[in-house]
Structure formats: structure tokens, C-alpha cells
A and B are shown apart, each in its own frame.
Chain A
């Protein structure tokens, strides 16, 4: 739970930007946040949202690290160049966004990076919001080795007109092969995914007997945990965080 640490606890975190070999061996940046306590710690590959590898996502990683995870968030827009996050986002947007194959390969390489950490427990989750929710589902579906996936309002999970050369397959299509438990967090006022699209996703998971839990929030739309803008809904956001912490603890704790 958030804010449930003991005041005599020595838990702290460190965080830094590092580089690692991503898709095609390209050196890309990643934000890494991790507990300062002795391991072993489970890992999390955090997939940033469409606005990019920004300060919100750095703080997102730190929050998870504070709860005991080694978190790595690759800069999926690294190949578009560097500048302020919004300038890089604009460049990525003008070029149609990042290709799914690159995201999956960068995520798979992040998993390998975690495996090389001496204090890694061997359990790994992936989480993302917005486009990152969709990407996290793709990653967990296509790369063996993940133990949990959290999709925060990922758009384009079910087939829509978003299917294009950069995003050729909707993650829904991979449901039969998805081998990890799924957490879904959604706002009922979201226009994408709409509640109807979430219904379709849930029906597909149910049809294939998958382990999943969906939490849908009234009074919330897209991006309702983004405390830096007007989409923020504090009560729904904090409840969603509790669902995330509980889900990861259940699926990523040591056997």
C-alpha cells in the first residue's frame, strides 16, 4: 500500500539515466530506479506513454521502486533525437510514432538488462499507460519471461483504424498466447479505450481462460493518474495505484 512504510525502515531508492543495447543493438537511454536495500528485488519494465519519456515517467518509476522493484523505463523515442520531452514527442508524432517491433525489441532488451542485475529476483512485470499500456500488452504477449502485465488505459488494444504499418497487429490478436496475468485499469469516460472496447478485451481474455482483473472507474477518463494535468482524478488514481501494488506483489513476489 502507498504510505504504509514503517518510519524506522531504511528503505530508500536510487535513480539515474543509463544506457543499454536496445533494438538492433542501438544504444538507447533508460531511466532506472531501484531500492537501496539488499535484494533480491523483482523487476519492472515500464513503458512510457505517448507524450514520451518525460518527468512524469521518471517519477512513475520512482514510485514503483519505492515499493521494492527495480524499474527500467526505456526511452522508446531515443532514435528520434534528443531535446525536451515535448520537442521529442513532436518529432515522433510527425514521423508517425514508434514502430511496434522496435518497442518490443527494446522491451525484451530491458528484460535482459534486468536479468543481469545481481539483486534481481527473477520475477518481472511490465506496465504502461496510454500507448504504453498497449505496448506492455504486446511485450508480455510476444516476449517470454514476464510474470505480470499492467495495462493502464491502453488505446488500440482491440482492432481499430489505428492498425497501420507501424502498428500492424492489435494486441487483442495475441490473447491466446498471452501467458501472464493481466491487470487492466480504465476510466469509464475514456474515449479510447471506450468501455465497449474494454468489454471486447475482457471478453477475449475470458474466452481464452486468461488470468485477469479489470478495474473500471466512474468519474474518470483517459490518463486519470496524471497529476500534472487536468485529467487527474485523485481518488480514482490512488485506488488504481493500490490495485497496481497489490497485483505486482501477488505476481512478482518470491515463490
Chain B
């Protein structure tokens, strides 16, 4: 099934893609058909640069459990970063 589940966030950062480093300004998280993973559906995360060539993309496909683990790790890392007082 094509779920069309997709959400995007504006972000500031950089990513390393097939052609090297590039500025990242959008993160899109979906749950739909993966390209590489042998599963009907996967969490699809794309870091991209709006306005740039479509190959400016860092792509990740994860199963749901991995998505939860990533979310927990990201949340914990942000919590620790904020608690550290370092910017």
C-alpha cells in the first residue's frame, strides 16, 4: 500500500551525499515503500537541499523499531546537550 505518510521539517545543517558535503535545509520523514530495503514499508528519512539538484540527498531506510530507537537516541542526545549548557 502506498501510505503517502510524509512530513517535512525545515532544518539547518549539512549532509554528505554521493557527491560530497552539501547544505541541508529540509528533512522529510515518511513511511512508505523503500527503495533498497526488502520490506513493503519502511521509515524513510531524507535530508535534502531545496532548490538544489535532486541528488543532494542523504537517504536512510529503517524499520519501525529502528525508527523508535533513533527517536529515543535523538531525544536523549538533545536532552543531554541542553543540560550541558554548551551551545
For residue A160, give the distance in angstroms from its CB to the closest CB of chain B.
Answer: 9
**Main SS class of interface, A:** loop
For residue A67, give the distance in angstroms from its CB to the closest CB of chain B.
Answer: 27
1/0 per residue, CB under 8 A from A, across B5-27: the answer is 01010000000000000000010
Contact B1 A191 (CB under 8 A): yes
Q: Which residue of A lies closest to B8 (CB)?
A: A94
**Main SS class of interface, B:** loop
For residue B3, give the distance in angstroms from its CB to the closest CB of chain A.
Answer: 7
Q: Which residues of A contact B59 (CB under 8 A)?
A: 86, 90
Contact A51 B35 (CB under 8 A): yes
Q: A90-B59, A94-B48, A192-B1 are in contact. Are A50 and B32 (CB under 8 A)?
A: yes
User: Cα distance A80–B38 when bound, in Å?
Assistant: 26
Contact B2 A131 (CB under 8 A): yes
Interface residues of A in 78-122 (CB under 8 A from B): 80-84, 86-91, 93-94, 96-97
For residue A151, give the distance in angstroms from its CB to the closest CB of chain B.
Answer: 13
How many residues on B have C-beta within 8 angstroms of the other chain's C-beta atoms?
24
Contact of A94 among B6, B39, B55 (CB under 8 A): B6
Contact B55 A231 (CB under 8 A): no
A68 located at the interface, meaning its Cβ lies under 8 Å from any Cβ of chain B in the complex: no
Q: Which residue of A lies closest to B38 (CB)?
A: A230
Contact A222 B4 (CB under 8 A): no
A164 located at the interface, meaning its Cβ lies under 8 Å from any Cβ of chain B in the complex: yes
Contact of B54 among A81, A131, A192 (CB under 8 A): A81
What 6 additional pairs, Cβ within 8 angstroms, besides A49-B33, A230-B39? A83-B53, A90-B44, A93-B32, A93-B44, A94-B26, A162-B4
Could you give 17 example pairs across A and B, Cβ below 8 Å?
A: A50-B33, A88-B54, A90-B59, A93-B30, A94-B28, A94-B46, A96-B4, A131-B2, A155-B1, A155-B2, A167-B4, A191-B1, A222-B1, A223-B33, A229-B38, A230-B38, A231-B40
